[in-house]
Structure 1
Amino acid sequence: MQVTETLNEGLKRGYAITVTAAELDAKVNEKLVEAQPEVEMKGFRKGKVPMAMLKKQFGQRLIGEAMQETIDGAMNKHFEDSGDRPAMQPDVKMTNEDWKEGDDVNVEMSYEALPEIPDVDLSGVELEKLIVKAEDEAVDEALANLAETAQEFEAREDGAAAEDGDQVVIDFVGKVDGEAFEGGAGDDYPLTLGSNSFIPGFEEQLVGTKTGEEKDVTVTFPEEYQAEHLAGKEAVFSCTVKEVKAPKAAEINDELAKKFGAEDLAGLKEQISERLEAEYAGAARAVMKRGLLDKLDDLVSFDLPPSLVEAESKQIAHQLWHEENPEVQGHDHDEIEATDEHNKLAERRVRLGLLLAELGQKAEVEVTDAEMTQAIMQQARQYPGQERQFFEFIQQNAQMQQQLRAPIFEDKVIDFIAEQAKVTEKEVSKDDLQTAVEALEDE
């Protein structure tokens, strides 16, 4: 076998690989010898079929296998000897398309090599970590929100009209074209007006009704309604208002605390404080991470594989276009052209991605099975009732596993770098932290 370099320009590499006919024939013979003990053929005992007959019977079929394995072996040996790591799957093609048995096999291989990543002195990196304490005002606001979610309803005085936000207890029967339909009736149903839990337009028509009143509510089912036989059709619901109730916020006391799993009000406040400070810590970490990435981006410079930058730039352009055109759900639109701004952002992402991967590898950072399981379970919660199927899907999909593993790996590398850097803590207000987070979103 002969491997000849044809291109060495920046990170671009090209090689001509020649597999001689003799090498290919030897590989075929090797496969036949390996298979011979298990082959049965009429007129011969198992394992006693002559090689010549085996070659005549199976040789053509094995040539393709032997060719592929020989070329793969040559590529693997090249990467092992050269130390090159291809940025993307190498482009491999056979150049003598008129090849026939007995000819040498000529192959061209081209790829972009990953660059050498320079060493970075992380001890010189200085970072600022924002610290926010949960203030009494924020805890009280959270308590008030909890009390609102735990609100109850009490009957209004006789003759009072229902207002938006009230609860009306109704009996109802829905009909389409004068015929009742399955699932369109209910008794003693507590409906909160303004909750948008019924068909659009339904609840608004019950505002102003009173206890004992009967009212026909006319609505049109949405075109995309889940029950196809009702989608887009007009329906009339005959409603009887049995009771009108006004919302009453739950009192902020020990009883409220017990509803949310705390022993008393003091314990609930403590839980809220811890939750708020955990949220603040998460936001502060995002701010510190951006600062760290900015510093790393300034510290290093190296050649980038054009194919990786181009792929990342196209992905950025495509993602931003969909954010600007949320009404377009599919991807059968015209190709989105990447701009200089997209290319610049892509270069930063590729550079930092390669750097973090190198630092993580050198530090022997690994994503554990437990961390992967936790990540999969978090994703699975988005598909209630189908968690098991989702779990099995991830287990069988290497690409999805990598998508889940990548952010975990990156966060662990970020933590490793932060441990080496000089981190200064700075206590700030919630508003200061919010301003810092908004600044990230504006960049």
Structure 2
Amino acid sequence: MSNLDFDPGEVSLRDIVTIFFRRLTGMTIIFTITMIVALIWIFAIRVDIYEATAKILVRIGHEQTRSVTVLDQQTPVIGYRHQDVATEVHILASTDTLERVVDQMNLDELAPSERPAGFVAGLLFDLRQTISSVREWINEVMIKAGLRQRLSKRQYTINQLGKSLQVGSSQEANIVVAKLRLPYREGTAAVLNSILDTYLQSRMSYFQEEDAVNLFRKKMDDSLRELGKIEAQLKDLETRSNIINLEVQEKLLLEQEKQLASQVKAVQLESDIMKSKLERLEDVRRSGGKNFGQLGAFPNQSFANDLMTQLSGIINERIQAESSNSANQRTIDEINQRFEATLELLATNIESMYAEHSKVLAGREQALEDARLELARLHRQENTWRVLQRRADLLETDYKFYRHEVEKASVTSSMQTNRISTVKVI
């Protein structure tokens, strides 16, 4: 019978048994080698993987809920939204979340495992290390060949962590399941918890608007700090300048200036009168005392007034002596000497009064100048004080405004946080 006429249905059980026993040795060797390799892989090469699982409940989205400011009793209609769950899945498994976890826990800087003390355990450890070295050598060859891109230790850790993390959800459920498989008995759960914490913080920053509380609080603190500086400057200015009540102090200085100006004017007038009398006294001396009356009047009961009275008496006495036939020249000369002596006393007295008036005038003028300088200084200090006061008022207004905004922003941020917190780890 030719091969073309072969019919598979004609093969008997005896033929099959015969073939099996003929190939028994080869099949036994293949089976034995397979079992040995499998046992070596399971107990020697394969690293134990530990799994940690967490579930996240995605509650109703804040955009579906009724606003807290709405007071009506209408019940909102809530529908299942798969895209909300998918969004949470992508955020949880995002590279940004994994990068933060690696940086926070320093997963790229883990210390190498120590060699166990036992012989068998140490032998298995050395075998695994050898296989790991071979893998690294193969990876290096592929990198040099241009088949792979070289990664830093941090990038490699992030990549491996992303492969170890499995995040998913069923089609009809709003629960996200996160599974993390790592070769660490105790560290796997800690890494998964860190991923969940980072995820919760990240999603808040994604959904929440810019935090205005810190901005307004910074502005409020700056205004309060500047207000404290301005108030300290105001207090220092009031202490140095002896400012108690600007309006009253200014009014007193103006009255003092007015009085001093009036006194200066009066003393100046008296001084001018004394100066004029001195000038006319020279004319009286040149005329021999004939026109001493042009000296004018002096205050009653004053020494100059008494001298004027004496001069008047001496003049009358000289006139009588000159008109009398019995008077001789000696008598007239004595009268003239008395007149000259009295006139000299009057001149000395007038000069003394002029000097006194000049001294008083200089003192009053200096006092007036001091009062004007003090008034000008007070005006300058008042301007500075008013500028600082206006600045303080503006800063106080800013501080009250920002404090009010901080209170509003705090309430708004709290409400917004409560409405954004739509997930819960279960």
- How would you bin the TM-score normalised by the shorter chain? under 0.3
Structure in which a larger fraction of residues adopt strand: 1
Larger Rg over CA atoms: 2
Structure with larger RCO (C-alpha < 8 A, sep 6+): 2
